[in-house]
């Protein structure tokens, strides 16, 4: 699964890739290939993206708490 994020000004890492070539609407891309990759690091990036877009922190907490990966 690929997750596209918009986090302007955020440096890329080995895992948090540049997203523009993959999807012009996203600044970053995270590839998730196994359940263990859905972890606190990814949740923090999701929080950053949501908060910068004006969404509430609790939305991400609820999403992560109820997420089931098969």
pLDDT tens digits for 40-68? 999 999 989 988 887 654 444 445 444 55
**23/14: higher pLDDT:** 14
- Residue 53 phi/psi, 5-degree rounding, is -90, -5
pLDDT at 48: 92
Q: Which domain holds residue 11?
A: 2-66
CB atoms near residue 9 (< 10 Å) = 6
Q: For the whole model, what pTM was predicted?
A: 0.74
Asked if residue 44 lies in contact with residue 38, where contact means CB atoms within 8 angstroms, the answer is: no
**Separation CA 70–CA 19 (nearest Å):** 25
Which SS3 state, helix, strand or coil, does residue 8 take?
Answer: coil
pLDDT of 23: 87
- In the chain, the number of structural domains is 1
**H or E segment to which residue 5 belongs:** strand 2-5
């Amino acid at each position: 699964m690929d997750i596209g994020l918009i986090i302007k000004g955020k440096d890329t890492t080995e895992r948090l890739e540049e997203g523009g070539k993959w999807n012009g609407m996203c600044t970053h891309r995270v590839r998730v290939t196994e359940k263990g990759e859905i972890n606190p690091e990814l949740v923090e990036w999701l929080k950053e993206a949501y908060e910068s877009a004006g969404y509430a922190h609790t939305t991400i907490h609820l999403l992560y708490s109820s997420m089931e990966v098969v």
